[in-house]
Structure 1
Amino acid sequence: MTNVEIEYCVPCGMLPRAQDLQESILEEFGEQVDQVALVTGDAGVFKVRVDGEQVFDKEEASYDEEAIVDSVRSRVGATA
């Protein structure tokens, strides 16, 4: 199964955005994912990893919730 991590900057107040993304991923994939974990960070971080592979970094791309969910989709169930 698939594990998703959302690392977000606590001092920057990114918890609501991380929670919204977590909810979107859980609504989209339900039991197809083992977990969608929120990981605290700092220094402006907002990264998403699927099974350890980074699929989003706000330093490299602008935040687009649909695009991030699509990136997760391409990896859900990809490993056996």
Structure 2
Amino acid sequence: MSQVVITYCKPCGYLKRAQAAAEALDTRLGIAPELVPGKGGVYRVTVDGQVVAAKSRQGFPDPDEIVEAVAASLT
């Protein structure tokens, strides 16, 4: 089984965003990702160490985009 990790900036208050993505992954793919607090504005989703979704200048990936990116990386 692949390891899915959501790293989020705890001081920035990104926990709720990470929890929403984790819930979407669990509901739609049956994957319970590990939530890892970080700092420095980080918000990144990795599958087996490879970044599949992350915060960019355009904003945050929404839960649907994260589910799609994780699903695509598992095929």
TM-score bracket for this pair, using the shorter chain length: 0.7 to 0.9
Deviation per CA, 1:32-72: give whole Å up to 9, x if none.
x4x41001100111000011110112036532221111000
| CA distance in structure 2 between the aligned counterparts of 1:12 and 1:65, rounded to whole angstroms | 18
| CA distance in structure 2 between the aligned counterparts of 1:71 and 1:60, rounded to whole angstroms | 18
* Superposition map of 1:60-71 within 5 A: 62-63=59-60, 64-71=62-69
In structure 1, the gaps of 5 or more residues are none
> What code does the residue aligned with 2:3 have?
N
> CA 1:15–1:51 in 2, change beyond 3 Å: closer, same or farther?
same
* Superposition map of 1:30-41 within 5 A: 30=30, 33=31, 35-41=32-38
Per the alignment, in what secondary structure is the counterpart of residue 12 of structure 1? coil
In structure 2, the gaps of 5 or more residues are none
Task: Determine which structure has more spread, i.e. the larger CA radius of gyration.
Answer: 1
Per the alignment, in what secondary structure is the counterpart of residue 33 of structure 2? strand
* Superposition map of 1:1-80 within 5 A: 1-30=1-30, 33=31, 35-59=32-56, 62-63=59-60, 64-76=62-74, 78=75
* Percent of residue pairs identical: 39
Q: Which structure 1 residue ranges, 4+ long, deviate > 4 Å from structure 2? A: none
Report which of the two has the higher share of strand. 1
Alignment TM-score, normalising by the size of structure 1 = 0.82
CA-atom RMSD, angstroms? Answer: 1.5
What is the aligned length? 74
